Structure 1
Amino acid sequence: MTDWGVVFRACTDRLVKLGSSLTEEQLATTVPATPSWTAREVLAHLAGGPSSILAGDADDAPSPAWTERHVTARADTPVAELLAEVGATVDPVCAMLADGGRPIIVWDRSVHLADLHEAFGLSRPAADTWEPVVEAVRPRLARILGDADAPAYELFRGYFSRRSQRQLRDLFPGASAEQLADVGVFGPREDDQPHPAEG
Structure 2
Amino acid sequence: MDATTSVALYAGTRARLTEAMLGFGPSELTELVPACPEWTVHNLISHLSGAAADFVSGNLEGAPRPPWTAVQVDGRRSMPLAAVLEEWATTTGPALEKLILSGDTTHPMICNPYVDAGTHEADVHGLTGIGRPPREIWLATLDWVFPDPRPADDSPGTLSTVTPDGTYQLGAGEPVAEVHTDTYELFRAIFGRRSAAQIQAWQWTTPAAAEAWSLELPRLRQTEVDLID
- The farther-off stretch of 52-61 and 72-81 is 52-61
| 1:179-198 correspondence runs (5 A) | 179-195=213-229
| 1:108-187 correspondence runs (5 A) | 108-140=116-148, 141-143=168-170, 147-174=178-205, 175-187=209-221
Q: Which structure shows the bigger proportion of residues in helix conformation?
A: 1
Structure 2 counterpart of 1:105: 113
What secondary structure is seen at the aligned counterpart in 2 of 1:37? Answer: strand
Alignment gaps of 5+ in structure 2: 149-167
Deviation sequence 1:38-92 (CA, Å, 0-9, x none): 1111111111111122123222221211101111111110111111111122332
Contact 2:35 2:223 survives alignment (8 Å):
no
Which amino acid in the other structure matches residue 181 of structure 1?
A: L
What secondary structure is seen at the aligned counterpart in 2 of 1:133? Answer: helix
Alignment gaps of 5+ in structure 1: none
Contact 1:31 1:119 survives alignment (8 Å):
yes
Q: 1:69 aligned to 68, 71, 79, which one?
A: 71
1:149 to partner: Cα distance = 2.7
1:16/1:129 CA distance change after superposition, 3 Å: farther
| Higher relative contact order structure (alpha carbons within 8 Å, sequence separation ≥ 6) | 1
1:147 to partner: Cα distance = 4.7
Q: Which structure shows the bigger proportion of residues in strand conformation?
A: 2
- TM-score, L = length of structure 1: 0.88
Contact 2:178 2:204 survives alignment (8 Å):
no
Identity %: 26
Structure 2 counterpart of 1:81: 83
Of structures 1 and 2, the larger Rg is shown by 2
Structure 2 counterpart of 1:5: 7
- TM-score, L = length of structure 2: 0.77
Give the number of aligned pairs.
195
* Distance in 1 (alpha carbons) for counterparts of 2:16 and 2:81: 15
RMSD: 2.0
